[in-house]
């Protein structure tokens, strides 16, 4: 079979070991998964109540227009319904963007490290990928601007950035957009938007009205706790949305995902409480790391990227013996680090104990 040549340059996504396999291998009863930035507090109780009496109609195709969720989201964001596109997580919209705007002969500019699916999908489409190293975990927007040329079609900005957790300042975004050529699509990925300090909110929906070449991506997978349902959205001017709808699958979000996301939107108290608990756990862990003498990136998310005294892979292997799954930095392109989700308070206290033990053994 003659597949795209680009497929030889990349590998399929490699899922980590499954929890049951780890339990069997290490003879552990409980596993604490901190590798995928999922919400440890679950999802809204209102959703649980809905699901208790939910009668599915799995024999019927979902609403391809996502009309009800679209209306509620447009009202919440104060945008037009025609300015929204939905995807199977915001990750599918990344794929749509690459399919619509990237091809052999053009290039795309992004930070490194950042969310790997930008590069993955751009490479599949045959585009040249230009990666600009972050500075202290943050986007080097000036260098990214300098890298743009006449063949650049898409620029990716991830704020807060995954895997570093750092965010872009409002004035820096405005300056970047003012100096970026208008024919270049700028993608602002705000998957972790709900965790942001309010003072650092980019107010991206207002920026969309100002800049016709900007699209903002968000998701229900993180703070809303709906990772298993795979639903996210993008917001941009109607021209961009219409172009993306050409490459979008006609029934790309499920009926249950649409209904549950609609309910999730109404329970902002759950989001507020998730953010509050996450912040307390983060602040406590930062104090601990300061006392331990380990460096870390300032995070505006529900995860942290921490520098380790040995390789991240070695620390991953140490922690997994005790039932804690983290993400070694070697898999993220950042050696001697680990990224971990900020979990439940008691679990994070235990993780501190394991960090201390590891520190003692390797100091």
Residues of the chain with CATH 3.40.640.10: 56-266
What is the mean predicted confidence (pLDDT) over 55-84? 97
Write the Ramachandran bin of 120: left for phi over 0, alpha for psi from -120 to 50, otherwise beta: alpha
Residue 312's contacts (CB-CB under 8 Å, 6 or more residues apart) are 327, 328, 329, 330, 331, 334, 335, 336, 337, 338
Q: Read out DSSP for 64-110?
A: TT-HHHHHHHHHHHT--GGGEEEESSHHHHHHHHHHHH--TT-EEEE
3-state secondary structure of 183: coil
Q: Are 95 and 247 contacting, i.e. CB atoms less than 8 angstroms apart? A: no
Place of tokens 């490479």: 123
When pLDDT is averaged across residues 174-188 and rounded to a whole number, the result is 98
Answer for the pair 262, 70: CB distance below 8 angstroms, yes or no: no
Reported in sequence order, the residue ranges of 114-184 that DSSP labels E, i.e. its strands, are 128-133, 152-158
Please tell me the distance from the alpha carbon of residue 117 to that of residue 140, in angstroms, as a whole number.
19
The predicted structure's pLDDT at residue 16: 63
Helices (H) and strands (E) in the chain, counts: 13, 12
77: number of Cβ within 10 Å: 17
In the chain, ranges of CATH 3.90.1150.10 domains = 15-43+269-361
pLDDT, tens digit (0-9, with 9 covering 90-100), for 244-287:
999 999 999 999 999 999 999 999 999 999 999 999 999 999 99
Predicted pLDDT of residue 58? 93
Determine whether domain 15-43+269-361 maps to CATH 3.90.1150.10: yes
Query: In 3D, which of 281, 302, 287, 275 has the Cα closest to residue 346?
Result: 281
Between CA 334 and CA 353 the distance in angstroms is: 24
pLDDT reported for residue 180 = 98
Locate 73 and state its tokens. Answer: 């989201």
* 3-class DSSP state of 57: coil
* In the predicted structure, residue 170 carries a pLDDT above the cut 90: yes
Using only C-alpha atoms, the chain has a radius of gyration, in whole angstroms, of 21
DSSP 35: S
Mean of the pLDDT values across residues 136-153?
Answer: 98
**284 burial level (CB within 10 Å; 0-12, 13-18, 19+):** middle
Distance, in Å, from the CA atom of 63 to the CA atom of 86, rounded to the nearest integer, reads 11
- The more confidently predicted of residues 11 and 355 is 355
Helix pair 255-266, 268-292: axis angle to 10 deg: 80
56-266 has which fold? 3.40.640
Question: Whose CA is closest to 90, among 218, 236, 192?
Answer: 218
Q: How confident is the model at residue 24 (pLDDT cuts 50, 70, 90)?
A: confident
């Amino acid at each position: 079979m003659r597949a795209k040549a680009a497929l030889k340059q990349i590998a399929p996504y490699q899922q980590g070991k499954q929890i049951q396999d780890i339990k069997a291998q290490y003879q552990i009863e409980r596993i604490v998964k901190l590798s995928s930035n999922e919400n440890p507090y679950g999802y809204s109780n209102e959703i649980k109540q809905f699901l208790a009496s939910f009668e599915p109609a799995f024999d019927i195709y979902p609403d391809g227009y996502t009309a009800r969720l679209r209306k509620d989201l447009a009202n919440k964001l104060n945008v037009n319904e025609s300015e929204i596109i939905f995807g199977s997580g915001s990750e599918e919209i990344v794929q749509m963007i690459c399919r619509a705007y990237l091809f052999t002969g053009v290039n795309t500019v992004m930070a490194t490290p950042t969310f790997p699916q930008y590069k993955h999908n751009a490479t599949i489409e045959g585009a040249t990928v230009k990666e600009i190293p972050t500075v202290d975990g943050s986007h080097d927007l000036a260098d990214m601007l300098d890298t743009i040329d006449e063949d650049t079609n898409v620029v990716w900005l991830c704020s807060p950035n995954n895997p570093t957790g750092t965010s872009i300042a409002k004035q820096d975004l405005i300056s970047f957009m003012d100096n970026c050529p208008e024919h270049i699509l700028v993608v602002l990925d705000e998957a972790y938007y709900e965790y942001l300090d309010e003072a650092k909110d980019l107010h991206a929906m207002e920026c969309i009205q100002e800049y016709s070449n900007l699209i903002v991506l968000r998701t229900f997978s993180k703070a809303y706790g709906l990772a298993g349902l795979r639903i996210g959205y993008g917001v941009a001017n109607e021209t961009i949305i219409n172009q993306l709808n050409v490459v979008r699958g006609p029934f790309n979000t499920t009926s249950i995902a649409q209904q549950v996301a609609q309910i999730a939107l109404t329970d902002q108290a759950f989001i507020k409480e998730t953010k509050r608990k996450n912040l307390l756990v983060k602040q406590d862990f930062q104090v601990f790391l300061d006392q331990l003498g380990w460096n870390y990136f300032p995070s505006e998310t529900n995860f942290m990227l921490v520098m380790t005294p040995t390789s991240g892979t070695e620390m991953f292997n140490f922690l997994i013996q005790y039932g804690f799954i983290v993400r070694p930095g070697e898999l993220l392109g950042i050696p001697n680090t680990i990224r971990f989700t900020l979990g439940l308070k008691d679990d994070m206290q235990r993780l501190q104990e394991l960090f201390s033990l590891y520190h003692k053994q390797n100091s």
